[in-house]
Structure 1
Amino acid sequence: MKLGDGVEAAIHCTTMLAGLQGGAVMPASALAEYHGVSASYLVKHLKQLVAAGVFVSIPGPAGGYRLGRAPQDITLLDIVLAVEGDAPAFRCREIRQRGPDAPDAFAFPNPCGIKLAMLRAEEAYRAALAETRISSLIRDYSETGDPRDIARGCRFVEANRRP
């Protein structure tokens, strides 16, 4: 399964916004700068996160984005579904019923075994994403990340947050 680049950007932005305190916000331009992506590209994904309730958007010159829920209440599945949508990755087109001399649909009373296997795999994948909370990613990184990079992120948040 291939996820779009927007998922990675969305997850990183979520972890960065988790560092904001007291209702502060961060502009999309700062988030885009820090992550090395174009602001117009990122805004599309930020709007999807707002629509899903993961982020809150504050309009105006002093506006920006902040988390819509506490980091422990946001999962990777929340972010993936906001950015990619909730359609299953595998879409069975019943090709087993096509081709030369294929019997009619009545010859296939049971669901396609391949479809069922793929849906089970996706269910397991989604369950794993649902178990992973933003707060645990932040905790793990604070324990294992390079202190220079952690300090860089903290400095950037402090310099670019809007009260």
Structure 2
Amino acid sequence: MKMGEGVEWALHSCVNMSWAPVGEAVSSARLAEFYKLPASYLNKQLQALVRAGILSSVSGPGGGFQLARKAEKISVLDVVLAIEGTKVAFRCEGILKNGPGGNMDEDYARTCLISQTMRHAELAWRTELSQQSVAGIARSIERRFPEAKGNTVNQLMGSRR
């Protein structure tokens, strides 16, 4: 499975927003500058997070984006699905119907061992991502890199602090 770079961008942006002072929005331009990303493409990813209810958009001076709910309530899976969509990674086409002894009436998506294996793996992957929160990632970063939160907030909030 290959995910687009937007997932990485969105997750980093959510972690950064989890560190912003309560009620403060982070501009997409500052985030793009911070990571040297194309601003218009990053903004599309952030808008997808707004549509998914992960971020809220704040207009006007000092506007930008902020978490729409507590970082503890935003799973990595929430972000992945907002950016990549909800389609399953593996789709069984039932090619066994065409093989020797194949049965056109059989639901091979349910009975094929390859299909079952792939569905089991995707369920495990989704379960793991659903158990990891933006807040958990932020805490891990803070433990490993104690200066990261302060440096990030200073860069992103600029003169508003």
TM-score clears 0.5? yes
> Retained in 2: the 8 A contact 1:92–1:115?
yes
TM-score normalised over the length of structure 2? 0.89
CA deviations 1:44-88 (Å, max 9, x no partner) are 111110011100011234321000010111110110010011110
Distance apart, 1:108 and its partner CA: 6.0
Q: Which residue of 2 aligns with 1:52?
A: 52
Q: Which residue of 1 aligns with 2:97?
A: 97
After TM superposition, list the pairs within 5 Å mapping 1:61-100 onto structure 2. Answer: 61-98=61-98
After TM superposition, list the pairs within 5 Å mapping 1:120-139 onto structure 2. Answer: 120-139=120-139
1:105 and 1:63, CA in 2 relative to 1: closer, same or farther beyond 3 A? same
Partner Cα separation in structure 2 for residue 113 and residue 65 of structure 1? 45
Fraction of identical pairs, as percent: 34
Q: Which residue of 2 aligns with 1:25?
A: 25
> Retained in 2: the 8 A contact 1:26–1:64?
yes
Higher relative contact order (CA 8 A, sep 6+): 1
Cα RMSD of the aligned pairs, angstroms, is: 2.1
TM-score normalised over the length of structure 1? 0.88
Q: Which runs of 5+ in 1 are unaligned?
A: none
Q: How many aligned residue pairs are there?
A: 160
Q: Which runs of 5+ in 2 are unaligned?
A: none
Partner Cα separation in structure 2 for residue 87 and residue 27 of structure 1? 30
After TM superposition, list the pairs within 5 Å mapping 1:107-126 onto structure 2. Answer: 111-126=111-126
> Retained in 2: the 8 A contact 1:30–1:160?
no
